Structure 1
């Protein structure tokens, strides 16, 4: 008989897995949906660190944290990002 599961490990800061490549892919897919040019992995790496909501805002404003974002556009962009990332959460991660 297998012993009961005693612990679960979460990698919340990217120490064990570099998930930025997948985040960047999903951001670029989301930007393409809104006819924006891709921003790429290096740019997304600079935007990561304050959660998905902030990542999507930065992707819409090219990293300008003080720029206003239309709430409807933001809502659609967040939905698009979550869809793409949900479909391919570990395709490019290392």
Structure 2
């Protein structure tokens, strides 16, 4: 379940500084790659902190990374995604 959920918002983080959101009709996003590392068992019925950041977004590409922490602060997973983000020109 976490693998699926981690893909829903991760690429959108690279759009925040540019004032767009992932569902905007002004852009055409496409995932180029998505990687998840699960370090420890993840309890899906407990609170998790999904800390997302985008270290780079340029040249129609965005890179986003994330860390997932359990309630006690333990790092349980990490994720990374690179995506193509093009403006729609009509």
Same fold by TM-score greater than 0.5: no
Q: Answer 1 or 2: which has greater helix percent.
A: 1
Rg larger for: 1
Q: Answer 1 or 2: which has greater strand percent.
A: 2
